[in-house]
Amino acid sequence: MTCEWLGSVSQPLRYDVHNHHTPDVLFDFNGSGKHFRNNDPRYFLPYGSKGLIVKKIELEDNYDRESLVQWWVTFEGNIYPYLYKTGLFQNYLLRRALNHLHETNEKLRSRLVKISVLRGM
């Protein structure tokens, strides 16, 4: 996911600082004050933070096609899980899943979607 954060950002912090967990503050452990568009673990948005804007959902170049199709047929339901179980429609289902991702990204371009960072159960 590519996201945008419009909230507060901490001053650059050292990597060994571990006690910053205030919600709605993006903590910059890079120390540069510069934020890059990538999966950078040096930036931390704590649980309880709200208002993270989702801009785009992307797949890695080497994404697991099987996992994507399994997720999509479960998400869509209807007849798709049965088609998946037959093993005959894998390419068709992959195209549908990729099309779903494309449509989702089109929606993200046309409307503001904000999410919260919650602790899993």
Encoded tokens for 51: 């208002």
pLDDT tens track for 75-90: 999 999 999 999 899 9
Q: What pLDDT, in 10s, does the model give residues 13-60?
A: 887 777 888 999 998 876 666 656 555 667 889 999 999 999 999 999
CB of 83 closer than 8 Å to CB of 66: no
Tokens 């195209």 map to which residue? 95
pLDDT score recorded for residue 14: 80
pLDDT at 65: 96
Could you tell me the residue ranges of all domains in the chain? Answer: 65-110
Q: Are 60 and 11 in contact (CB under 8 A)?
A: no
The separation between the first and the last C-alpha atoms of the chain, rounded to the nearest angstrom, is 21
Supply φ then ψ for residue 120, to 5 degrees: -70, 165
pTM of the model: 0.78
Enter the tokens of residue 32: 């540069």
